[in-house]
Amino acid sequence: MKPEQAKKRAKELVAQMTLGEKMSQMLNEAPAIERLGIPAYNWWNEGLHGVGRSGLSTVFPQPIGLAASFDTELMKQVAVAFSDEARAKYNEFSSHGSRDCYQGLTYWCPNINIFRDPRWGRGHETYGEDPFLTGEMAVAFVDGMQGDQKECRKLDATLKHFVAHSGPEGCRHGFDAKVSKKDLYETYLWAFAYCIQKAKPAAVMGAYNTVNGEPCCASKHLLQDILRDELGFEGYVVSDCGAICDLHDFHHITEGKPQSSALAVNSGCELNCGDAYQGLVVAYEMGLVTEDTITKAVERLFQTRFELGMFDEKTPWDSLGYDDVATPAHKQLAREMAARSIVVLKNNGILPLSKEIKSIAVIGPNANNRDVLLGNYNGTPDQWITVLDGVQRNVGKDVRVYYTKGCDVVTKDVPKWEENTFQEALILAEKADVVLFCCGLNPRLEGEEGDAFNSDAGGDKTTLDLPDSQKKLFQALVKVGTPIITINISGSALAFHEIAEQSAAIVQAWYPGEQGGDAIFDVLSGAVNPSGRLPVTFYRSDDDLPAFDDYHMKGRTYRYFQGDPLYPFGYGLSYSRFCYQNLSIENQGDSLLFHIQVENVSDRDGSEVIQIYAKCMGDADEVPNAKLVGFRRVDIQAGQVWHGDITVEKKILYVTDQEGKSHIPQGRIHFYVGGHQPDAVSCRLSDTMCVEAEISL
């Protein structure tokens, strides 16, 4: 239903409700109002990388991997496939009268918080550390989710968590993020503003924490002055689960549920995940909230239900059913996206694997681990392809594949009577032509508070080091002498400079989704030319980072870090080599048009991620390092030249002053265009340079 008509219908329907009925509809578990023909509805649904927690679905790579693709077109295809499955499951569930949690159309994704510190456990739910990349990937995802049907919205997308939320997990319910105005607008708010303008998401979720003492789910300044008035958001706001009770239980801003619920509703939070809004009855009786405020909130909630076609209208997606869930086409898309997300960090020439190899030893705790395929907030696939599976399925009948775990993900005291395969790993490495060392983390070590139950920090990491058990195994394997290809499977950056020095190749695979094993072998074998790029900085040591609970951006992420990283943001190797030339920039009013030629000077077809970075040389408010302002993925055949244009909006170039105000950069802007950042480490690792040009706005 069109917004104008939906708004009218919502107003008419809500006018027939009693005050108690209205209040009941502001809880995520909204009960039926049978006399008005309103069915029960649970607003809570998850879909970070496919339909989550709702049984069968296609599981795509974890969002950090989606971001590593730098591919907005494929990202949108993933979101369309996910939304098809979401609509299909909703149709099937609702046809049976089932309207429970994870069976609806209002999805609490994507997570567009900035991954400011690699120790944050939930960082793999995000699109990385850069606001522009995050904004671009979020727009593609939201567009694919919500659909382009003007008559009816396909799903509701919910941007989360508003705002300045990225750990610590262990104290998130009472944490106060101290954020300067410059950092707030330059980093933490940027992707929210960009996505709201470009994609018009239906909803925003407030965070657990406070920002400079203001509760994210109950601040008029944050939810009205900034979110609605400044950013132009027109949808509804939902609290994170239990966040309203945090106001009195942990932040100690209010006395109890009546006061907390009144503060949140009056500030602009229409929907409560949790039970705090049960206190609205008492809040009303105390004169803390008016019926008019309640009415407006409920009208906004029912407007979105009408826009989604939940009542008496037919929608373009009514025919979708279980035949459209976990389809071969969706599995192929998951495999393609996983392959594009994989980042080759080092290659001494061993990749792609030689056809002469006759034996491969697949060793490590993540080699045959299904958990690491799925990440978190995931669905349940009907097919799971681990790294071991991918090798065995694709390597060919003449190649012997050995496998053993070798060690656990983390050090454990193993009783003498339990299996210990450490020595076996060394024996198999001796027998093989090459070792695939499958190391890293898993979602039980890094994740959300309560989910990552093996974490020592409530879901966060206390160190960037690879766990000792895996380092010990790797060093023993090195002594065997067989070439080692390290496949790191994790949702975040690790500091493994010793492994980097001693591996013949390093592949960063993230949490790659249900088809991950096939995708990884596609890259190892050369069936797919690697093209993923890092959406986060890989640091050399924990010592490179400021205190975890310090929300100042100084010293964090590639834009502000002053040291030499192990592997920089935007970096990734290919089996092809690309040459950039003939850069020119055309001023076109509100945008700049970059003309560039990129030649594939190798004998192998490949995909290149063209990246544009900008640095204003004369503005004191500019970030310390060059920042990403544009990118495009292009396919270029061997020996061919890509001639193309990339548009960069001028407002992306604006800088932010200490008061959080944006302005046109003062002085000339220096642009760098290439397959990576213009920093010295990227140029050295890639053995290529960026082309450069200057212009004044």
Catalytic residues: 240, 446
Provide the phi-psi class of 616: left if phi over 0, else alpha when psi is between -120 and 50, else beta.
beta
> Are the CB atoms for 101 and 44 separated by under 8 Å?
yes
Non-local (6+) Cβ contacts of 267 within 8 A are 217, 218, 219, 220, 222, 223, 224
CB 93 within 8 A of CB 103: yes
CA distances from 217 to 71, 244, 245, 681 (A): 33, 7, 10, 41
**What end-to-end distance do the CA atoms of the chain give, in Å?**
43
Cβ-Cβ contacts under 8 Å for 140 (sequence gap 6 or more): 72, 73, 75, 76, 79
CB 474 within 8 A of CB 437: yes
Of 102, 128, 127, 109, nearest to 48 (Cα)? 109
Tell me, rounded to whole angstroms, the distance of Cα 328 from its chain centroid.
Answer: 24
Amino acid letter at 27? Answer: L
DSSP letter string over 56-96? B---PPPHHHHHHTT-HHHHHHHHHHHHHHHHHHHHHHHHT
3-state secondary structure of 318: coil
Beta pairing, strands 655-656 & 662-663: antiparallel
Diameter of the chain measured on Cα atoms: 80
Is residue 112 classed as helix, strand or coil in its secondary structure? coil
573 - beta bridge partners?
344
Residues 6+ apart with CB under 8 A from 617: 667, 668, 669, 670
Angle between helices 72-95 and 328-341 (to 10 degrees): 140
Residue 177's DSSP bridge partners are: 211
Number of C-beta neighbours around residue 205 at 10 A: 24
Angle at CA of residue 133, ends 113 and 239, nearest 5°: 20
Q: Which residues, at least 6 apart from 690, have a Cβ–Cβ distance to it below 8 Å?
A: 580, 613, 672, 673, 674, 676, 677, 678, 683
Two tokens at 374? 């799925």
State the CB neighbour count (10 A cutoff) for residue 423: 11
d(CA 372, CA 662): 41
Name the residue with tokens 């067989």. 482
User: Three-class SS of residue 32?
Assistant: coil
Residue 203, Cβ density class (10 Å: 0-12 exposed, 13-18 middle, ≥19 buried): buried
Which residue is listed with tokens 């979020």?
138
- Pairing, β 343-347 against β 505-508: antiparallel
| 435: three-class secondary structure by DSSP | strand
Return the bridge partners of 362, or none. Answer: 403, 436
Radius of gyration of the chain (CA): 25
Helix, strand, or coil here: 602? coil
Strands (E), 194-265: 203-206, 210-211, 214-215, 236-239
